[in-house]
A and B are shown apart, each in its own frame.
Chain A
Amino acid sequence: MATHKIRVEINGAEREAEVESRLLLVHLLRETLGMTGTHIGCDTTHCGACTVLLDGQPVKSCTVLAVQADGREVLTVEGLEKDGQLHPIQEGFWQEHGLQCGYCTPGMMLTGYALLQKSSDPGEPEIRQAISGNLCRCTGYVNIVKSVQYAAAKLRSAQ
């Protein structure tokens, strides 16, 4: 069985692991490293529950090999909070009731976070387009859109 020694910067910290070629990034996070904030939903590249940022871009970690992340940066939901302070995107989901069951929430927040890196004041169509690869079966997306806009406003006011 072929294994590879990989080094990945996860939420700002260097992590090393010896992984099988076929290990998926989501399994590296959840099983090898015990970081269960990233969820597995459909496991078939549809739902976006497993979304993480790879070098700043939102991707579905069920469809990336762990070994492909070697030498790269990964941001997961565990990396959003800093020093006990929720990131504005997390605060937005709290304030605007952007979740019900919470299953899609880590992925939604990371996709929203990535959108706000390149667009400081996105309108509803832009947000809905950005999250169109992340499925939510509870909210009807209305409050998720409001949550992202809450975060956008908060980030703008902090500048």
Chain B
Amino acid sequence: MHELPITQSVLEISLRHAQQAGAKRITDLYLLIGKLSYVMDDSIQFYWDMIAKDTIAEGATLHFQRVPVELLCLDCSCRYPVDGETLACPQCASTRVKVAAGDEFRLESIDIETFDQSDANVVEK
């Protein structure tokens, strides 16, 4: 997909939330990415190392949690994983199905370090 704009978006969202939380540094980012989203982890990490440089997120670690694809049968409400062979419902063979999981593409949370008292003193000086 478009790893550079995606990475820029991740940086923008994380900096915005970090600022609101009064962060000194972002240490970790937790991304939730469904297997239906065609994103290359390595490529995001590569761009991250370049664009997060000189921000409070420089050097932060990206954690990717992959979500397997699950479908929901609209006829019998069976929820089942996709094995890659067939998409039809294993219980009633219906093809009236919708994606129940696997299309996530979210930044779930970040770990930050905040200014402690000694830092606050430094800032006030």
Whether A associates with B in a native complex is no
- B positions within 8 Å CB-CB of A: none
